[in-house]
Chain A
Amino acid sequence: MGNIFVFSDSYITKAVIHCIEYMHRDNEKLGSVYVLRENHRQDEFPKHYRVVIAQSLQECLNACDICLIYKSERITEPCVERIRSEAQQANVTCCCIDLQKKSVLEEQRKKKSVTVLIVRYGTFTQQYYTEFALASAFRKNNIAIAQEFSTLAATIMESLEFLKQNEENGKRGLAVIALETPCLETFDNDTKIRSIVHALRPEYVILSTNGNTELSDEVFKRFYYLYGKKIDCVVRSEYVPFVVRGTEPVPLRCILKNKEKNAKRNIMFVDDMNVGDLLFEDIHAKLAIPKDIHLL
């Protein structure tokens, strides 16, 4: 199977790498993931990730057997065509995946099991990271879960299916559901989100947000009074939406030295790379049934 070259903008490439790590960590046939130095630095990734920061496109195409191109709104068609053409010339298998699908807010829900809900608040939240981290943590602890991923995570996973070895998915037990429609920012979807949250009655709610969205008391109160459930934990991404030019923000990767500490709020940070374990610990503490008690 060998090495994979991933081409996209910096934010999406990172999502793909985290997904590969989640899906194929134990896949010995998989080599390294090559990305371009144009968008990444080695210190962005944990040491155990098999990532190579290549100096040039040629280096990537020489080393890799497969090229995965993820078309996002920040990658133009001419860039995609250029990579595709160079990959073809180098006899590298090239797959192009369109990520510009919009998520559809599925309103019809039924509560099936104990539910953890991950909600998105803001842009560049790396919600996928929390989804993968939680799934990995449960897998590590041999707990089967049913999981619904956000559109971005699901699309990337689907594109990587052909790399996947067979794996059983838990169908019963804990359910982890990602609600990625923007909440709290506008009032547009409030009624729908409220009905979803009421239907699911999640036992644990994670707010996935970016590095600088303000987490005032008002945010937590609004969630509680609008949707009827309190937020248990916040996960902050490594990114800060920053407007450099015009009105469209760019995802600025920003790890601040002095991380906020809040006695009232349970806040975790993606760049600490231990979100999965911390979340598992907290969820387990709040939701696990004691040993000698059986659910009927």
Chain B
Amino acid sequence: MDNKPIGFLFVLKSNYFYYDTYRNRLIQVTVEQFKEIKRLLEIGQADYLASCDDTEEQQAIVKLIHMGFFRPSFIACEEHPNMRYIPQLLNRCVNFVQLQVTRSCNFRCRYCFFANDNTMTRNHENAYMDWDTARRSIDFLYEHSCDVSEVGISFYGGEPFLNFAIIKKAVEYAEKKFLTKMIRFSATTNGSIMDQDIADFLAEKGFHLMISLDGPADIQDSHRRFSGSGGGTFDKVLENIMLLKASHEDYFYKNVIFNPVMFADESYAKVLAFFKSIGVRESAVRKQYANMKGIDYNYDLFHSDIAGTSEYEHFQEYNVDQIEHIKDAYKRKFIRTSEELPESGCIPGVVRLLITVHGEFYPCEKINENEELMIGNLRDGFNEEQVRRIANLQKLTHEQCKTCWAVRFCKMCAIHCTDPEKGNISRQAKEAYCRVIKKIAVSFLKEQAERQNQEV
């Protein structure tokens, strides 16, 4: 194994810093020490120690070596640490199913992943889940959730409320079926289909509801239009939200959240002000930025100059999950074993299982629905080999991961490793996302370095 240390050197505003991967520590060094560390990273510990002349800078570096810095690669594990539990997890720990009750939608949204302009994935179609498939999906969850005490059933689309009758039947069936477990029902809706009966049902069953409303009329209507008429959707959606709020205020505040989708040149302050004006708390608003992959390649997400923010602030906006993961990883000062790194994503099918209108299994709703990523179906059950392949993403780049300085910050998901054109998992796609993670990690370390300097 390569004995060269794993770490990252950078300069920030004429100050010199080194991040050590094994110790998970960021240290500030002098310019002479910086040069020594650079040499050490290039030639490895053994050669460096052999060539030391015992200068003051070298003494400092040697002391750091004795403190555990500058260790070479410590990643031994080639597969996801939970691979050995996969059969049991798939048999006994499935705890959240998303039922794709329809592929039809009454909206045509500018940024929709399933928009007809998107060449990368399936498009909207007139397909509805029948009762037999819905019932068998719930039975599948029942049969494979022995060891969990809470299960989740989510309804997805298209626009799921277009098939509300099936949703209602599925909920009532699940409630009769599960006796020892809490069931958490949820749905994502565009808010256009609502009446008093639906509102009463959602409140009675305690549905966790996410309503896709992008903001005031000018924003909503420019992003989200009715599929038939092409007209704006704001008035109808707002009317339904008010109906729900008026008839079940307590439920509305506890269980309903909104996810406005924004473009970089839009003002979040304006969107937030709108939500507050209709009585929605800030904590119930979960913004996300439009992903135009496969729809409009001219749209560049990294418009930090438009937003007028620093690179780190930009990443905090656009890559919230990744930043949160890096912050969390950076805080952990204990040494994680080599069996735990790098951190792959979830075990497909266990944390989340998407069941399509035709009874096919996919890891989640964000993934392309193509055969390459299918992990089973209702008739045959899970395809364990496929689950393992998707869970074991680090195998794609294991040799690089072993010597990657950002390995502690890495949190990979199958979505990130999917080729945007072909829709399959590929090494190139993973490597491209690796570069993104490193960019975010560098930005985070620089932010930490700046903060450290200010405190001093």
User: For chain B residues 91-113, which have a beta carbon within 8 Å of chain A?
Assistant: 92-93, 95-96
CA distance A124 to B157 in the complex (A): 39
**Interchain CB contact under 8 A, B88 and A83:** no
**Interchain CB contact under 8 A, A38 and B178:** yes
User: For chain A residues 226-269, which have a beta carbon within 8 Å of chain B?
Assistant: 240, 242, 244-245, 250-256
Q: Does A147 contact B (CB under 8 A)?
A: no
CA distance A255 to B180 in the complex (A): 23
* Inter-chain contact total with CB atoms closer than 8 Å: 67
Q: In chain A, what residue has the closest Cβ to B85?
A: A254
Q: In chain B, what residue has the closest Cβ to A83?
A: B179
Q: In chain B, what residue has the closest Cβ to A124?
A: B147
**Interchain CB contact under 8 A, A38 and B181:** yes
Which of B96, B148, B182 touches A76 (beta carbons < 8 Å)?
B182
Which of A57, A83, A244, A256 touches B350 (beta carbons < 8 Å)?
A244
**Interchain CB contact under 8 A, A82 and B147:** no
**Interchain CB contact under 8 A, B180 and A240:** no
Binds B, one of A3-11, A88-96, A191-199, A273-281: A3-11
User: For chain B residues 76-127, which have a beta carbon within 8 Å of chain A?
Assistant: 82, 84-85, 88-89, 92-93, 95-96
Contact mask for chain A residues 119-141; partner B; CB cutoff 8 A; 1 contact, 0 none? 00000000000000000000000
* Secondary structure type dominating chain B contacts: loop
**Interchain CB contact under 8 A, A245 and B96:** yes
Q: In chain A, what residue has the closest Cβ to B181?
A: A38
Residues of A within 8 A of B179 (CB): 7, 36, 38, 57, 79, 82-83
Q: Does A41 contact B (CB under 8 A)?
A: yes
Residues of B within 8 A of A251 (CB): 147
**Interchain CB contact under 8 A, B146 and A38:** yes
Which of A8, A245, A252 touches B180 (beta carbons < 8 Å)?
A8
CA distance A82 to B177 in the complex (A): 12
**Interchain CB contact under 8 A, B85 and A252:** yes
Given contacts A38-B181, A57-B179, A75-B180, contact A244 B148 (CB under 8 A): yes
User: For chain A residues 56-94, which have a beta carbon within 8 Å of chain B?
Assistant: 57, 74-76, 79, 82-83
**Interchain CB contact under 8 A, A244 and B149:** no
**Interchain CB contact under 8 A, B92 and A253:** yes
CA distance A240 to B180 in the complex (A): 20
CA distance A83 to B181 in the complex (A): 12
User: For chain B residues 121-176, which have a beta carbon within 8 Å of chain A?
Assistant: 142, 145-150
Q: In chain A, what residue has the closest Cβ to B352?
A: A245
Residues of A within 8 A of B88 (CB): 240, 252-255
Q: Does A24 contact B (CB under 8 A)?
A: no
Give the number of residues in B that approach A within 8 Å (Cβ atoms): 24
Residues of A within 8 A of B178 (CB): 38
Given contacts A38-B181, A82-B179, A244-B95, contact A252 B149 (CB under 8 A): no
Q: Does A50 contact B (CB under 8 A)?
A: no
**Interchain CB contact under 8 A, B351 and A253:** no
CA distance A115 to B429 in the complex (A): 61
User: For chain B residues 170-218, which have a beta carbon within 8 Å of chain A?
Assistant: 177-182
Residues of B within 8 A of A213 (CB): none
Q: Does A39 contact B (CB under 8 A)?
A: yes
Residues of A within 8 A of B93 (CB): 242, 244, 250, 252
Given contacts A82-B179, A244-B95, contact A10 B142 (CB under 8 A): no
Q: In chain B, what residue has the closest Cβ to A76?
A: B182
Instruction: Count chain B CB atoms within 10 A of each CB in A8, A9, A253, A254 and give the residue with the most.
Output: A254
Instruction: Count chain B CB atoms within 10 A of each CB in A40, A57, A83, A240 and give the residue with the most.
Output: A240
Contact mask for chain B residues 375-396; partner A; CB cutoff 8 A; 1 contact, 0 none? 0000000000000000000000
CA distance A41 to B150 in the complex (A): 18
Instruction: Count chain B CB atoms within 10 A of each CB in A57, A74, A255, A256 and give the residue with the most.
Output: A74
Nearest CB in chain B: distance from A83 CB, A: 7
Residues of B within 8 A of A245 (CB): 95-96, 150, 351
Residues of A within 8 A of B150 (CB): 245
Nearest CB in chain B: distance from A37 CB, A: 8
CA distance A254 to B89 in the complex (A): 8
Nearest CB in chain A: distance from B82 CB, A: 8
CA distance A40 to B149 in the complex (A): 13
Nearest CB in chain A: distance from B367 CB, A: 19
Instruction: Count chain B CB atoms within 10 A of each CB in A40, A83, A250, A255 and give the residue with the most.
Output: A250
Which of A7, A41, A74, A242 touches B85 (beta carbons < 8 Å)?
A242
Which of B95, B146, B177 touches A39 (beta carbons < 8 Å)?
B146
Q: In chain A, what residue has the closest Cβ to B96?
A: A245
CA distance A10 to B180 in the complex (A): 9
Which of B92, B142, B177, B182 touches A252 (beta carbons < 8 Å)?
B92
**Interchain CB contact under 8 A, B147 and A38:** no
Residues of B within 8 A of A83 (CB): 179
**Interchain CB contact under 8 A, B85 and A10:** no
User: For chain A residues 156-175, which have a beta carbon within 8 Å of chain B?
Assistant: none
Q: Which A residues fall within an 8 A CB radius of B?
A: 7-10, 36, 38-41, 57, 74-76, 79, 82-83, 240, 242, 244-245, 250-256
Given A83-B179, A244-B148, A253-B146, 11 extra CB contacts under 8 A: A7-B180, A9-B149, A10-B147, A74-B149, A79-B179, A240-B88, A242-B89, A244-B350, A245-B351, A250-B148, A252-B147
Q: Can you list 15 contacts pairing A with B, beta carbon distance less than 8 Å?
A: A9-B180, A10-B146, A39-B147, A40-B146, A57-B179, A79-B181, A79-B182, A240-B88, A242-B89, A242-B93, A244-B350, A245-B150, A252-B85, A253-B88, A256-B84
Closest 3 CB pairs of A and B: A74-B149, A254-B88, A252-B147
